[in-house]
Structure 1
Amino acid sequence: NRVTSINLSSMSLSGSLPSNLNSLTQLTTLSLQSNSLSGPFPSLANLSSLQEIYLDTNNFTSIPSGCFQGLSSLKVLSMSQNIYLDPWFFPTELIQASSLVTLAAGNANLYGSLPDIFDSFPNLQNLRLSYNNFSGFLPKSFSGSGIQNLWLNNQQFGLSGTIEVLSNMTQLNQVWLHKNLFTGPIPDISKCETLFDLQLRDNQLTGIVPATLMSSTALQNVSLDNNKLQGPLPVFGSNVKKATFDGTNSFCQTKPGPCDPQVNTLLEVAGALGYPILLTESWEGNNACDGWSFIVCDTQGKVITVNFENKHFTGIISPAFANLTSLKNLVLKNNNLTGSIPANLLTLTQLQLLDVSNNNLSGEIPQFPYTVKLITTGNVLIGTTPSSGGGGGPPSGSGSNGTTPNGNPAPASGGSSVSPGMIAG
């Protein structure tokens, strides 16, 4: 003779709920949606039989701390459209609800960051948290999850960071991330074989629209407008019923077709840096010699200088620089670049200056000809490679003429010093 279910949905109810609601210890379903219930919501803590909670579209004013503690059987928590709630954090006590399938709390005044706890929900399929005040990054624990429908759109403060985690959310059907502050490129979603609806408009995404997105056979609706995307105008397959990509994007042409070769090369360079938004905002059109920041061209329209000094860029030095065959000056000093100096830069026969000082580069230094002024100071690991013999490479700051900045002979690539007599010879 215990109460197991309460269904009072759409009953035009007002007033508040009793504070001892969780004394109904055998309760499995609580349906109170579409009423005008107000006041604080009572705690449901330790109702271990409760499987479904529907609180949507009411006027509740607060959710007590620990309200959802100990709900070990919970499968559905739906409480969207509670616009009068005091601001509250995502309820981390839900990790005890390992059977959770649906979590819907859109327009419920949630704020703060999304906690990195989603590996605690192996059965979660529907996560709908639109129209809240979340900020911060997408949690890493989204990766590998079984989430099928992900709604995080229209955050007042705006979620930020990259959306790279989508590439490992292979069960996705629907993704709504529009109207946030996401940056970086659109990831490869080729593993998301059932994704049919992808809404990414009104963010700050950069880079080129990946071919894997345009070739997806499951995709039907996609919005990319009002981002900072570059490269060729995207062309989707006939399976896509609606695709929008206008607004603030910076595609190289207004019609489908390839970009100019120098534009392509510089976009590859930007890709190795993670497509920084600074380059997107200043590189527009299909002519790299027409007002592109940090780029200098000669009278024949060939790029001769790229100057990224002190731009706080991360990433690596792109081997694509070698495609700028007229390049004379490459200045990358005072950034946070990693990796090594690409050996194929040796093919740049016009190169006169390569300044990579004050980065985090490592690896061997290519043997540039004496005509190249090479500056590598401020890279602690440069010139070092694993060696069983214990010999090191050239020290930080060795120049193309075989000397360090103070004029002393620099060790050769094998680790032994070049003698003054050899230099004189």
Structure 2
Amino acid sequence: MNSKQPINCLSSSSHIHYHFYVLVIFLTFTAISAGNETDYQALLKIKSMITQDPYRALTSWNNSLHFCDWTGVTCGRWHKRVTYIVLESRGLEGSLSPHVGNLSFLRKLSLSNNSFQGVIPDELGRLYRLRLLTLEENKFTGVIPANISGCSNLEELNLSKNKLVGSISKAIGFLSKLRVVSLQDNKLTGGIPPFLGNITSMEVFSISRNPLGESIPDTIGHWKVLKEFHSDGCNLYGTIPHSLYNLSLLTRFSSYENQLIGSLPSAIGAMLPHLVNLQLWGNQLTGPFPSSITNCSRLTYLEMDQNKFSGKLKIDFAKLKDISYITLGHNDFGSEEADEMKFIDSLMNCTKLNTLDLQNSKFQGVLPRSIGNLSNQLNHLSLEENQLHGTLPRSIGNLVGLTKLSLGTNKFIGSIPSTIGNLQKLQGNIPTSLSSCTSLSSLSLKGNLFQGMIPSSLSSLKGLRTLDISHNNLSGQIPQFLVQLSLEYLNLSYNDFEGEVSTLGVFANASTISVLGNNRLCGGIVELGLPNCKERTKHKKDVPMFIIVILIASTLCTIICLAYACCKKKNKSKSSQSSTIKRFMKVSYNQLLKATDGFSESQLIGIGGFSSVYKGILDEYKDRFVAIKVLHLQNQGAQTSFMRECEAWRNIRHRNLLKIITSCSSVDFQGNDFKALVYEFMPNGSLHDWLHSSERTSRLNLLQITNILVDVASALDYIHNHCIPTIIHGDLKPSNILLDDDMVAHVGDFGLTRFLGTSSYQNSSTGIKGTIGYVPPEYGLGSEMTSSGDVYSFGILLLEVMTRKRPTDDIFNDGLSLHKFSSMALLDHVIDVIDVNILNVYQEDENFMQNTEANSKKINECLASIVNIGVSCSVDSPSQRMDIKKVVQELHHILDALQSI
């Protein structure tokens, strides 16, 4: 018996322990269950205070699913407590429930780009596990809650783009783990508080566009790991604290549109060597501009205009190979030294330079020939309002990428070099500042996109002998002062002038005047062949108005398209013959019937809702194929589509847009209306064919794809940002991207075009607005067509190219879309979603195989960057989509990286 006693004692002890553990487990599960119920009720309270849910994001928030499976909700794996709530860009309206403070396991709360109103609840301060709080772009009011200090583990705080007032809460100073603070675009006052310097983990601080006032505190020098500092438009004054220049990791420093004074340290380039953006324009900074900025080899944006910098500009730009934006205008540079403009020489290495603005800065001296060595990416060059003298160098004609060139109010002499005619992308009105060139004898502005009327200020050019402003978009009546000038040659062809042509002065001799392609002109000398103005008026009275409208519409469209075709520059050896064919070529129904072998099915290369496209050969084009787009006029909307497309081609001209030859507005042999557009034939077909046609035995490689994407993005940038009026394509998709012999992409089919700011051909709210899968979500809600809609379509197109999956493929259902499919891959392994054919060319390339690991890494980075652009362009919220200018810039960077392999 005694020998068994210890065993009994042990059994008793084990029994007690067993019951204890059971009790602990029971209590634990009871606590978890209670916590789950708390989270469930808190979520329902949050939902109850949301008054609008247009995209039905909260439809799943009901008892048919466990709350961990609700849209936007993520739970921990074991305890099933809410850890993430992410409801971005859902169109939600209402207020944020204080019950959010009951979600005690919450680590991330992101409600950006919605319409939440009211105050930010103090109860957020209970969330001590919270690491990321993003309430950006809502309508929150009131002050930053003082209880925010309770979020002791918070790493990122983003309250930007709301209506918050008051000063920056002292509570933020206690959040010692903060890395990112973004408070821009509110109504905060009281300056940048010095206590923020206590947050030594700060990496990004953005407070721009708040009426803060006061000066930048010296304590920001405590932020030793700071990478970005943004305080634009904050009414700041005083000097920039010297401690800021000790933040050697700083990459972006912007504090423009303030009242900062003082000078920059001469060694700023050595102190801040990692700068990518330096934007201090619109202040009152003085002294010489530090030449040490050349040490910032990664610099992309240098915006220092509208200050009071003085002295000779001594920057050696040769090391700044990534710089794209330089604005130094409206300063007091100028040294009276002979080589004052020598810094232009060093800019030739800046191959990514997009903008160079040196206007109104007291520069003097001769403009060096090296100006012509600047980047072919340069589209904005401003040298106006300086004291430059001498002649304009002929090399300026090398800057073929320019869309804006400003040279007025200088002391240039001599004639404008004929090479300026190479600048065929120049556009916006003819500058009135030309009137100051009183000794000018020859002026050629042909082949650009000038619009508006001929400025009356040109009447002061008494020495002018030759004026050529043909092939533009000028309009209005021909001004009478041209009669008074001693012109020996005047070319006004292919514009949109109207009214009576004079018979005096230069207009008295047919050999000295050309007015072709202005179909609204009348009168003039007999040799010009223009209709009599009185007869035109008489005919208008005799002919029924509806017939006049029809005739004018069809004739105008034909002439417009012909005029556009005449503008296109051809191969020099064939330019004379080609332009003659285009200028006078008119095609009939019979000619098009013959060209397509009776609109034979064997010649059919595409069909759509409004048209069929045939391949054919016109006699005037000899052995060259053309593409003939025949409108299905029996289909509702086809007539409008034809007129839209003609109107679009009247306003646009770009290497990445499909080239039109002519149009036909006639009747067929049965007397039915017939309308067609004739384009240059694209021998490599459409992008859709390359992606999805089984007849294609080869596929596109990554370099070809990137070039195509650059082409398409450049075309969008042109019609969105460089056309007046702005043009919205409305139906961007792979089948509308055509490829020529050199695989250069051309955007076509402007049948759904919208012209912003005009009443012509506007879309109704119920009209067709594109193709399913490529149409942005806001169009489905009745929104008008916008440029951001085209950007969305471009994003989907890009992702389709990279994944070779259509947005309407069967796998995209139950909440999964091409955008989401690609977006998730960015977080994990992007190469898993990339079409395998894309990489084939590199695997067969010897140079690639010699350094496979390094090149593979570079290619993977490029792939991720491209997909990220597509994802950024195709987000649901129009305001958050990537700007098309930025898209073009990023794609060029990627292209440069690929070409270096």
Same-fold status (TM-score > 0.5): yes
TM-score (norm 2): 0.27
TM superposition shift of 1:243: 4.6
Aligned to 1:70: 174
- 1:163 corresponds, among 247, 264, 280, to 264
For 2:149, what is the secondary structure of its paired residue? coil
**Are the aligned partners of 2:298 and 2:320 in contact in 1 as well (CA < 8 Å)?**
no
**Are the aligned partners of 1:29 and 1:51 in contact in 2 as well (CA < 8 Å)?**
yes
TM superposition shift of 1:189: 1.5
Q: Describe how 1:245-324 pairs up with structure 2 within 5 A.
A: 245-256=357-368
Aligned to 2:296: 192
- 1:119 corresponds, among 201, 221, 224, to 221
Q: Letter of the aligned partner of 2:358 in structure 1?
A: D
Aligned to 1:229: 333
Cα distance between partner residues in 2 of 1:122 and 1:131: 24
- 2:283 corresponds, among 174, 177, 180, to 180
- 1:209 corresponds, among 313, 329, 353, to 313
Change (3 A) 1:238 1:170: closer
Q: Deviations over 1:333-384 (max 9, x none)?
A: xxxxxxxxxxxxxxxxxxxxxxxxxxxxxxxxxxxxxxxxxxxxxxxxxxxx
Q: Deviations over 1:264-301 (max 9, x none)?
A: xxxxxxxxxxxxxxxxxxxx889xxxxxxxxxxxxxxx
TM superposition shift of 1:185: 0.8
Q: Letter of the aligned partner of 1:139 in structure 2?
A: P
Q: Deviations over 1:149-194 (max 9, x none)?
A: 1111112xx1111122632211101111111111011112232121
- 2:208 corresponds, among 106, 110, 114, to 106
Aligned to 1:13: 116
TM superposition shift of 1:199: 0.6
**Are the aligned partners of 1:220 and 1:242 in contact in 2 as well (CA < 8 Å)?**
yes
Any stretches of 5+ residues in structure 1 without a counterpart?
A: 258-283, 287-425
TM superposition shift of 1:245: 4.2
Q: Deviations over 1:57-82 (max 9, x none)?
A: 11112235413121111011011111
**Are the aligned partners of 1:184 and 1:206 in contact in 2 as well (CA < 8 Å)?**
yes
**Are the aligned partners of 2:318 and 2:350 in contact in 1 as well (CA < 8 Å)?**
no
Aligned to 1:132: 234
RMSD: 2.4
Aligned to 1:23: 126
Cα distance between partner residues in 2 of 1:54 and 1:251: 43
TM superposition shift of 1:126: 1.0
TM superposition shift of 1:47: 3.1
Q: Letter of the aligned partner of 2:227 in structure 1?
A: Q
Aligned to 2:697: none
TM superposition shift of 1:32: 0.8
Cα distance between partner residues in 1 of 2:303 and 2:223: 24
Structure with a larger share of its residues in strand: 1
Cα distance between partner residues in 2 of 1:46 and 1:239: 50
TM superposition shift of 1:239: 1.4
Q: Describe how 1:329-340 pairs up with structure 2 within 5 A.
A: none
**Are the aligned partners of 2:118 and 2:140 in contact in 1 as well (CA < 8 Å)?**
yes
TM-score (norm 1): 0.56
For 1:109, what is the secondary structure of its paired residue? coil
Q: Letter of the aligned partner of 2:348 in structure 1?
A: G
Q: Describe how 1:35-74 pairs up with structure 2 within 5 A.
A: 35-43=138-146, 44-45=148-149, 47-63=151-167, 65-74=169-178
Cα distance between partner residues in 2 of 1:193 and 1:247: 25
**Are the aligned partners of 1:81 and 1:107 in contact in 2 as well (CA < 8 Å)?**
yes
For 2:129, what is the secondary structure of its paired residue? coil
Aligned to 2:354: 242
Q: Letter of the aligned partner of 2:362 in structure 1?
A: S
Q: Name the stretch that deviates more: 21-30 or 100-109.
A: 21-30
Q: Letter of the aligned partner of 1:96 in structure 2?
A: N
Cα distance between partner residues in 2 of 1:67 and 1:89: 15
Aligned to 1:151: 254
Aligned to 1:32: 135
Cα distance between partner residues in 1 of 2:250 and 2:272: 7
Cα distance between partner residues in 2 of 1:243 and 1:4: 43
Change (3 A) 1:49 1:220: same
Structure with a larger share of its residues in helix: 2
Aligned residues: 258
TM superposition shift of 1:212: 2.5
Any stretches of 5+ residues in structure 2 without a counterpart?
A: 1-103, 370-386, 390-901
TM superposition shift of 1:215: 5.2
Change (3 A) 1:198 1:6: same
Change (3 A) 1:74 1:177: same
Q: Describe how 1:348-367 pairs up with structure 2 within 5 A.
A: none
For 1:127, what is the secondary structure of its paired residue? strand
TM superposition shift of 1:20: 4.3
Change (3 A) 1:42 1:151: same
**Are the aligned partners of 1:103 and 1:128 in contact in 2 as well (CA < 8 Å)?**
yes
Aligned to 2:851: none
Cα distance between partner residues in 2 of 1:190 and 1:238: 13
Larger radius of gyration: 2
**Are the aligned partners of 2:127 and 2:150 in contact in 1 as well (CA < 8 Å)?**
no
- 1:88 corresponds, among 182, 190, 197, to 190
TM superposition shift of 1:4: 2.6
